[in-house]
Structure 1
Amino acid sequence: MAGETDETPFRGVDATRAFGGSAVALVVAGTVALLSRQPWLFPSLGPAVMLHVEQPGRPESSPRNTLIGVQPGHWPGDAVVARAVVSCAGEG
């Protein structure tokens, strides 16, 4: 119809739920990092959490897709860490 738009109006409840869910996930990851003394806060955590909180029923939000999606970023990081460990072990 004329004059109608497809835009969804802002809903404060959705924004509050998204913020709260994201904040809880980041606090949990930060707490795990503190207790394990290992880094757990990484760049892809924020977007992944927002996707799961904002659109939990969408196929893109499935845990399977998230795990598969972050793997290409983990491989180079794992290789760098392994190389650093091997380099440091040879110095001792």
Structure 2
Amino acid sequence: MTYKHLIPPAPHLEPITEEMVKNIELKVEVESLKQELQERQEQLDNALTTAGLTNQNEVEVQRRCEERQQEIRHKQEILETKVQLLQEIQSPSAVWP
């Protein structure tokens, strides 16, 4: 594609050569590629941020799950102790005052 016909020659400037047009085309292409690279980098950054948040969420869910398991174990121990005390009170060998 040539842009030579779009640029009118100036009387006091040298004529536009094919190399000049090619140079301009290449500069436009480079700028377009820079923009595309920047957009892709932003997409990658967003994806990494999202993945990081997902990992943080997963860690948080795991932490909460472990906390709940500890709470359940603690409550289970309390209930087992209560059951043991009730069994001792109900056993025939228990001494009543």
User: Normalised by the size of structure 2, how large is the TM-score?
Assistant: 0.28
Q: Which has the higher helix share?
A: 2
User: Normalised by the size of structure 1, how large is the TM-score?
Assistant: 0.29
Tell which structure's C-alpha radius of gyration is larger.
Answer: 2
Greater relative contact order: 1 or 2 (C-alpha under 8 angstroms, separation 6 or more)? 1
